[in-house]
Amino acid sequence: MTTPCALTDETLIALSLDAADDVLASLRLGVAKALDLGTVEGFDQAIVHLAGLLRGKAALSDQAAVKAALEVLDVEWKTTTAKQRKGLIARALEAAGRRTRTVPATLQPVFDKAATEVVRGGRDGVRRGQRLTIAMEFNAIDKRILRHLRTSHLFSVRDEYGRRHEAFGKTARQLVAEGLEQGLGRDDIATTLASAAEGVLGAKGSAYWEVLAGSFVAQGRSFAQLSAYAEARIERYRIEAILDERTTEVCRFLDGKTFAVSSGLHHFERLEADPEHLTDLAPWVRERLVDGRKELFVEHHNERLAVAEVLRSGFGTREDRGEFGKTLSERELVDLGISFPPFHGLCRSSTVAEV
């Protein structure tokens, strides 16, 4: 029997959000100055700073979307028919959509600048930290990485707003129906709708921008490292996890595994060719309970495929990978798109050259 398992991603996100305020309080630097991707602190600061920039740029549109939707929904619901209620909610979603339609374009300059700094930070980290002999300038692969980073995450933003609007439509229909059933008046229903709009359309309290920024920085760093390895004629690289109390089961499982640089670059080419389907080509690994035991899995073509079984968990400890069984081979992991970070939301794992 399979049952849901609380994801360690959620714990990691919560811890990161708690730390974000402290980082922001001490960090008032531009993106270029914040990036030192060769250290844990620099990597974390880059994510927090980028998330703050993205959230700030989107905030006005988010607030306008909430206001526009609520203006449409401020009606005397008791006098409406089911058809009218359906139409009002549809109009509210259209009004919200008009306010957020330009968010991807608004974020484009942020991604443009961040892409350059992330790739430069990834190369500098390899040059200094791993002492690889590579040029100071971007190579041909780096320039392709820049183009990919600058556009691929905009599709994620577009899809996120689509999900938000769909979710709010469903929630609004439910709240109105429940309010009428309970005999609530216009003001009471308006209050519940306002709270839902702030939470769903406005993403109040959401870690979305942190997760998006984490994906951007981690993926960009991995791409830059792969490019540098190829330039230095390195044939294989090793996954290096930070084995502390926050480290997820998947990063403990992948820590120390090696992959061919050529396979990693081929995977990048697949992502580059189809940037709208990153979640399908590079799915994040999740956890679930199967017969009382943790299993790592990915969603692949609407099917859940097992990656490994946790025989002994090291979660919550330092320098302990744990033990795993029923594991996939290197080839199988590569085919599923699990060969370089990020492996989950706010993944901190990196790579090092095998020399």
CB 288 within 8 A of CB 164: no
The dihedral sign for the CA sequence 183, 186, 187, 189: positive
By three-state DSSP, how is residue 308 classified? strand
Residue 320 vs residues 184, 266, 313, 348: alpha-carbon distances, Å: 55, 31, 9, 16
Q: Per-residue confidence at 301, pLDDT binned at 50, 70, 90?
A: confident
By three-state DSSP, how is residue 97 classified? helix
CB 243 within 8 A of CB 319: yes
Mean pLDDT to the nearest integer, 84-94 = 98
Residue 4, pLDDT above cutoff 60: no
Mean pLDDT to the nearest integer, 141-148 = 97
Task: Give pLDDT, residue 23.
Answer: 40
Q: Per-residue confidence at 206, pLDDT binned at 50, 70, 90?
A: confident
Measured distance CA(83)–CA(202) in Å, rounded = 27
Q: Which of the residue ranges 19-28, 36-45, 286-295 would you say has the lowest mean pLDDT?
A: 19-28
Task: Give pLDDT, residue 355.
Answer: 85
Task: Give pLDDT, residue 34.
Answer: 41
By three-state DSSP, how is residue 307 classified? strand
Mean pLDDT to the nearest integer, 143-169 = 95
Residue 28, pLDDT above cutoff 80: no
Mean pLDDT to the nearest integer, 96-109 = 97
Q: Between 85 and 1, whose confidence is greater?
A: 85
Q: Per-residue confidence at 267, pLDDT binned at 50, 70, 90?
A: very high
Q: Per-residue confidence at 26, pLDDT binned at 50, 70, 90?
A: very low
CB 348 within 8 A of CB 40: yes
Q: What is the pLDDT of residues 38-75, one digit of tens each?
A: 888 999 999 999 999 999 999 999 999 999 999 999 99
What residue segments make up the domains of the chain, in order of their start? 2-354
Q: Per-residue confidence at 5, pLDDT binned at 50, 70, 90?
A: very low
Q: Per-residue confidence at 244, pLDDT binned at 50, 70, 90?
A: very high
Predicted model pTM: 0.88
Mean pLDDT rounded to a whole number for the chain: 91
Omega cis (within 30) before 342: yes
Could you say which DSSP state residue 285 is in? Answer: P
